[in-house]
Structure 1
Amino acid sequence: MSESVNAEKEADHHPYRRPVDAATLILVDRSGATPKVLVGKRHEKVVFQPGKIVFPGGRVDRDDSRIPVAQPIPPALEANLLRGRPKITPSRARALAVAAIREACEETGLCLGRKHGTSPALTGPWQPFADAGLLPDPSGLYLITRAITPPGRIRRFDTRFFAADASSIAHRVDGVIHAEAELVELVWVELGSKPLADLHPMTRNVLGELARRLAAGPLRHDADVPFFHFYGGKMQKDVLGA
């Protein structure tokens, strides 16, 4: 059964655009009494959500399904990604998880990977992994939510929001965050703190789901995964695959 979410409503100031697959990574630091999440402030001149506080993420690239990885995505994570419509392939599910890692490294300089015996043949956005002797490692990712941007927006994404523990960070690239970058600032903030109060409604929804999962203990693949999508003039919340 769908549940209406009042935070998002229909907009008609842009023509209909088909949403494209995207992935977002929420890094979680549980070393203290209250979990912290890593958020970034977007540049004021970017097209999508200028100046907003966001999690690192972006659209899936063509090569994301072919990049070698240190370990495969867990079968339970793949099963979660394959739920819902439109149906996707296991290769696409893998690409979504890998895209979350790539985007996080590109936008924050934080790379989730494992050491590899030989220098991996990675180039382009994956060069930092090759330089550090790493392969990307999606084995520690958990699917928290899926959300589709409502019609009428200048950009539309079918986004899978993943979470991973900060201990998965294997390499840091200096100089990624600066005044002219896509993200101009990074900060670790406690869940429920004031810096997280003025967020995009969907970002708040995702954080709420993450907080609920973390309150129940370590993240697990068998928890319900909410799916936020537009229907009947409002954003609806379903359980993915239900």
Structure 2
Amino acid sequence: MLTLNLDKETGLTTPEIPIEPAATIILVKDDIGGPKVLMQQRNPEAVFVGGAWVFPGGKLDKEDYDRHWETLCPVNTAKADRLLQVERQAYAFWVGAIRELVEEAGILLATDSEKFTGPEQALAAQTFLAARPDQFLQYCQANELTLDSRKLKYLSRWITPVGNPKRYDTRFFLAPWPEGQEPKQDGIEAINTCWVSPEDALAHHKKGEWVLVLPTVMTLQQLCGFTDRATLLKNNGQSL
């Protein structure tokens, strides 16, 4: 797995800005011409990378660490801790990635069950979290939902360099798109949404049409050259 602390790349020292844990998720789907990934343009007024095209994601919430997620977000906790090189509660990164996807794109990765109604419930969850952003656990408990965490593959780790107004220790995950759930941007953090091939996203950036930050550029480069989603997912990331 790629781990890159951009401070070390620049040789700069770290100021007194807290580095917050965060998670990003890259959804992949098959399409004519090859696999595409879900990308969103951040609000230009955002303090952090405003106007840039990114994958859905954001900082972890305190609630993401709740012990009840060990049941509702089933991962091998010991293996997850080792994979992410944290002392405990690495499952919070899986929770955060899935939650952010709901908030920003209206897509919910939940296991198939009588309680999960697919697209309708995903949008209902997005609406719920817009009003109660700290109650994702309560929503899943009330609706008897289990997160489909086993679909996520851990891809990489990026630490925001010195000089930014906010700094994050971000874990990137890959996951297959749940068919039938079309993305719906929240209109607050994300103002545009599209499915795009990694090659086309990089071409937009090269032409000056899209702003991309370094972690996004390098991730897109890593995902280029695959003929279908299955091959892309097979050759990238690590499952628990």
TM over 0.5: yes
Deviations 1:124-173 (CA, angstroms, capped at 9, x unpaired): 34277578763322110011110101122111100000010113x67568
The structural deviation recorded for 1:220 is: 4.6
Greater share of helix:
2
Provide the C-alpha distance between the structure 2 equivalents of 1:16 and 1:210, rounded to a whole number of angstroms: 35
Query: Does the residue aligned with 2:58 lie in a helix, a strand or coil?
Result: strand
Counterpart AA for 1:88: E
Provide the C-alpha distance between the structure 1 equivalents of 2:11 and 2:161, rounded to a whole number of angstroms: 7
For the Cα contact (< 8 Å) 2:5–2:160, is it kept in 1? no
Identity of matched residues, %: 30
Counterpart AA for 2:87: I
- In the alignment, what sits opposite 2:194? 187
Decide which moves more: 62-71 or 181-190: 62-71
Report whether the alignment pairs 1:139 with 2:150: yes
Query: Does the residue aligned with 1:113 lie in a helix, a strand or coil?
Result: coil
Counterpart AA for 1:155: K
Counterpart AA for 1:187: C
Query: Does the residue aligned with 2:218 lie in a helix, a strand or coil?
Result: helix
Provide the C-alpha distance between the structure 1 equivalents of 2:21 and 2:163, rounded to a whole number of angstroms: 17
Provide the C-alpha distance between the structure 2 equivalents of 1:21 and 1:164, rounded to a whole number of angstroms: 20
For the Cα contact (< 8 Å) 2:21–2:60, is it kept in 1? yes
- In the alignment, what sits opposite 1:202? 215
The structural deviation recorded for 1:75 is: 6.9
Provide the C-alpha distance between the structure 1 equivalents of 2:78 and 2:218, rounded to a whole number of angstroms: 23
TM-score (norm 1): 0.70
- In the alignment, what sits opposite 2:165? 154
For the Cα contact (< 8 Å) 1:22–1:60, is it kept in 2? yes
For the Cα contact (< 8 Å) 1:77–1:221, is it kept in 2? no
- In the alignment, what sits opposite 1:88? 87
Report whether the alignment pairs 1:164 with 2:163: no
Report whether the alignment pairs 1:56 with 2:56: yes
Provide the C-alpha distance between the structure 2 equivalents of 1:79 and 1:184, rounded to a whole number of angstroms: 34
Provide the C-alpha distance between the structure 2 equivalents of 1:19 and 1:207, rounded to a whole number of angstroms: 24
Provide the C-alpha distance between the structure 2 equivalents of 1:3 and 1:103, rounded to a whole number of angstroms: 22
The structural deviation recorded for 1:214 is: 8.0
The structural deviation recorded for 1:38 is: 0.6
For the Cα contact (< 8 Å) 1:116–1:133, is it kept in 2? no
Query: Does the residue aligned with 2:146 lie in a helix, a strand or coil?
Result: strand
Segments of 5+ residues of structure 2 without an aligned counterpart are 117-127
Aligned residues between the structures: 211
- In the alignment, what sits opposite 1:177? 186
Query: Does the residue aligned with 1:88 lie in a helix, a strand or coil?
Result: coil
Greater share of strand:
1
For the Cα contact (< 8 Å) 1:113–1:129, is it kept in 2? no
